[in-house]
């Protein structure tokens, strides 16, 4: 790989170039459900009016997802931002692997199914039980069950993590009923025994990320692997009981449950079984994978670890080889902006709080752990609070801003990137007042960064990885009208939006003579080239063009 070439007409702004990712803050229609619009954001408003402003696509094919009906997410978003190009992503790759049959011909699928056939043991599937298409898709699970049946696998157990975060907040029963129907048909027609064995809300068990709360994984392990937990005769009964006990509870927060038959758990994981984690996205799949793969392991007490063959849908971390076995290889993302800058000897800093730290480092760097060259890279992680984010919607915005301002003024860095998680993480809670406070905290941070950039003759690029808080009301699918509760308040939608995101380029000293480049239909993969031109480098030829022209 070559180093970056100098820009022919512009040597770069004098101070640092700061790329702010305002997670989950998109541009939506200006109504009651748009909390970005409703929040008081004097700084972002100022940028919209006085800086160079445009919109970028942040969903579907613009970030490598199969169709433009797919909402974006932080993982593929940060991949695209850091890579400066679009790569085919998880769901698209798996669809192809299933269609072409490459998945079934693969060594890992054959090893895991062969294992259970030989030992007459159980094939387990653990994963997010929805069609949200961010971490998983139930169509993939269905395809694997059909194939397992064709290959003569007799017993399958499914451990269902209820979503309500990438899909409507209380939709679990629709997925459960539909799937139970599918299982009943398979069992009746083919004489197999395929059943749901355990489950729980994804934000309560199993799907922690970035080691924010290993207890979640410990709870999930007990439920899925040991079969220890509150018992019910069906997943539907579990969900209905929990909802009765705690009215208003969202699917993502439901406690764990175990399905029993004849007084015993129907599907704990036993020696000799095979286990597939069918999530394809890495962030929330890594910890459970480690619990299955690692020995020794000190994150929680697993009890006796069953001796199983474990595989992930994908390899969630290629450098750390987590997990060891996987069904579909991940996209190979090379030559990210981070790698180029390191290679060129340009100092960079990445910051966020725990919840999005991996996004500005691992995902931004093309699904790569560790630094390209520690001499030129610093990473700052601010520990996230461990409370529901609606209780503290400001999250760590102030601490993050303090560190960023300090770094800008230190003169140590040429490129600084950071992520404010609030618009997304609080957006996922569906609590409107909290989301507004979260966005206002981001705006305050952006304002302080604008000042610091001005003081140092640097430049600011403020944008987002995908929308969320810009479209927070559930809508009638046909009419688009906002759906309301009995008090007339909009019913919340907790998932990401399909909206574009803003991009603001602010060069207070005017050195760059930046103006819109006029390339049509740009997506967030253009942010890498935009950062490079402001630093005075020519973007690599195959990068998505910059939002601005300089010089
Ligand atoms: C989550 O994992 O929290 C959601 O499924 C997606 O959120 P993110 O893509 O913004 O991280
Ligand atoms: Co999100």
In contact, 394 and 382? CB cutoff 8 Å:
no
**Is the beta carbon of 7 within 6 A of some atom in ligand 1?**
no
Instruction: Fold for 5-88+333-549, please state it.
Output: Alkaline Phosphatase, subunit A (3.40.720)
ipTM of this model? 0.95
Question: Is residue 319's pLDDT more than 70?
Answer: no
424 ligand 1 Cβ < 6 A: yes
Atom of ligand 1 minimally distant from the CA of 466:
10
Ligand 2 center to residue 510 CA distance, Å?
A: 35
Crossing angle of the two packed helices 42-50 and 432-455, in degrees rounded to 10: 60
* Bridging pattern class, strands 17-22 and 193-201: unpaired
From residue 266, how far is each of 80, 116, 221 by CA, in Å? 42, 17, 15
* Pairwise CA distance, residues 295 & 293, whole Å: 7
Chain mean pLDDT for the chain: 96
Each domain of the chain, given as residue ranges in start order, spans 5-88+333-549, 91-328
Bridge partners, residue 484, by sequence: 490
Flag whether pLDDT at 289 surpasses 80: yes
Cβ–ligand 1 distance for 208 under 6 Å, the answer no
253: which DSSP letter? G
Distance CA 421, CA 438 (A): 9
* Beta carbons of 531 and 107 less than 8 angstroms apart: no
- For residue 316, what pLDDT is reported? 87
- Over the stretch 175-199, which tens digit does the pLDDT of each residue have? 999 999 999 999 999 999 999 999 9
Q: How confident is the model at residue 248 (pLDDT cuts 50, 70, 90)?
A: very high
**Across residues 342-358, what is the average pLDDT?**
97
Cα–Cα distance list, 8 to 224, 388, 507, 533 (Å): 59, 50, 19, 10
What are the strands, taking DSSP E only, across 28-148? 52-56, 122-128
> Do residues 415 and 349 touch, judged by C-beta distance below 8 A?
yes
Cα distance from N-terminal residue to C-terminal residue, the chain: 26
Probe ligand 1: pick from 58, 356, 424, max atoms within 8 Å of CB? 424
pLDDT band at 26 (very low <50, low <70, confident <90, very high): very high
**How is residue 177 written in tokens?**
């009923």
Check if 471 has its Cβ closer than 6 Å to any atom of ligand 1: no
Query: Which ligand 1 atom sits nearest the alpha carbon of residue 421?
Result: 10
Q: Please calculate the CA angle 23-27-28 and round it to the nearest 5 degrees.
A: 120
Feature table: binding site: 23, 74, 135, 165-166, 202, 209, 281-284, 356, 424, 428, 465-466, 496
Model confidence at 470: pLDDT above 70: yes
What are the residues whose beta carbons fall under 8 Å from the beta carbon of 33, sequence distance 6 or more? 471, 472, 473, 475, 482, 490, 493
Q: What percent of the chain has pLDDT over 70?
A: 100
What is the CATH code for 91-328? 3.40.1450.10
Cα 134 to ligand 2 centre (Å): 9
Q: Are strands 257-261 and 231-232 parallel, antiparallel or unpaired?
A: parallel
DSSP reduced 3-state for 69: coil
Q: What are phi and psi of 142, to 5 degrees?
A: -60, -45
Say yes or no: CB of residue 443 within 6 Å of ligand 1: no
Length of the chain in terms of residues written: 551
2 pLDDT higher than 90:
yes
H/E stretch holding 5: strand 5-6
Q: From CA 328, how far away is CA 321, in angstroms rounded?
A: 14
Query: Using an 8 Å Cβ cutoff, are 82 and 526 in contact?
Result: no
For residue 320, pLDDT beyond 90: no
The Å distance, Cα 393 to ligand 1 centre, comes to: 16
Locate 394 and state its tokens.
């400001």
Per-residue pLDDT at 335 exceeds 90: yes
pLDDT per residue over 207-238, tens digit each?
999 899 999 999 999 999 999 999 999 999 99
CA of 229 from ligand 1 middle (Å) equals 27
Residues 61-101: pLDDT tens digits? 999 998 998 999 999 999 999 999 999 988 889 999 999 99
pLDDT of 330 strictly over 80: no
* pLDDT higher than 80, residue 42: yes
């Amino acid at each position: 790989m070559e180093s970056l070439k100098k820009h022919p007409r512009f040597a770069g702004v004098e101070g640092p170039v700061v790329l702010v990712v305002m997670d989950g803050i998109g541009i939506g229609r200006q109504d009651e459900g748009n909390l970005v619009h409703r929040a008081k954001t004097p700084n972002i408003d100022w940028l919209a009016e006085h800086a160079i402003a445009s919109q970028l696509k942040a969903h579907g094919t613009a970030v490598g997802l199969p169709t433009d009906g797919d909402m974006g997410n932080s993982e593929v978003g940060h991949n695209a931002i850091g890579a400066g190009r679009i790569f085919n992503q998880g769901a698209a790759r798996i669809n192809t692997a299933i269609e072409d049959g490459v998945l079934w011909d693969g060594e890992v699928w054959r090893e895991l199914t062969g294992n259970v056939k030989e030992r007459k043991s159980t094939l387990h599937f653990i994963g997010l039980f929805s069609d949200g298409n961010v971490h998983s898709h139930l169509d993939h699970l269905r395809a694997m069950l059909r194939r397992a049946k064709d290959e003569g696998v007799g017993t399958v157990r499914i451990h269902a993590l209820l979503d309500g975060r990438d899909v409507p907040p209380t939709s679990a029963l629709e997925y459960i009923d539909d799937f139970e129907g599918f299982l009943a048909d398979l069992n009746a027609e083919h004489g197999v025994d395929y059943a749901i064995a355990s489950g729980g809300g994804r934000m309560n068990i199993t799907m922690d990320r970035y080691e924010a709360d290993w207890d979640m994984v410990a709870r999930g392990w007990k439920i899925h692997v040991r079969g220890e937990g509150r018992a019910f005769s069906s997943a539907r009964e579990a969900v209905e009981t929990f909802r009765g006990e705690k009215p208003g509870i969202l699917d993502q927060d439901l406690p764990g449950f175990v399905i029993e038959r004849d007084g015993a758990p129907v599907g704990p994981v036993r020696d000799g079984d095979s286990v597939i984690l069918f999530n394809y996205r890495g962030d929330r799949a890594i910890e459970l994978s480690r619990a299955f793969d690692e020995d020794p392991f000190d994150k929680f007490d697993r009890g006796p670890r069953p001796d199983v063959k474990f595989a992930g849908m994908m390899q969630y971390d290629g450098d750390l080889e987590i997990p060891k076995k996987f069904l579909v290889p991940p996209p190979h993302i090379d030559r990210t902006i981070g790698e180029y800058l390191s290679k060129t000897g340009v100092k960079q800093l990445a910051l966020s709080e725990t919840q999005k730290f991996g996004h500005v480092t691992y995902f931004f760097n093309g699904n790569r752990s560790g630094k390209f060259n520690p001499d030129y890279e610093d990473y700052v992680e601010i520990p996230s609070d461990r409370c529901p984010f609606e209780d503290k919607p400001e999250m760590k915005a102030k601490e993050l801003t303090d560190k960023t301002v300090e770094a800008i003024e230190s003169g140590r860095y040429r490129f600084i990137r950071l992520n404010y998680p609030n618009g997304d993480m609080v957006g996922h809670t569906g609590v409107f007042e909290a989301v507004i406070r979260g966005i206002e905290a981001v705006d305050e941070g952006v304002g302080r960064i604008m000042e610091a950039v001005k003081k140092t003759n640097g430049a600011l690029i403020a944008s987002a990885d995908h929308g969320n808080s810009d479209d927070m009301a559930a809508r009638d699918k046909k009419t688009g009208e906002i759906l309301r509760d009995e008090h007339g308040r909009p019913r919340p939608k907790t998932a990401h939006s399909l909206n574009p995101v803003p991009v603001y380029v602010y060069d207070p000293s005017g050195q760059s003579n930046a103006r819109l480049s006029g390339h049509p239909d740009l997506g967030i993969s253009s942010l890498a080239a935009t950062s490079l031109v402001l630093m005075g480098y020519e973007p690599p030829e195959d990068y998505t063009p910059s939002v601005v022209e300089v010089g």
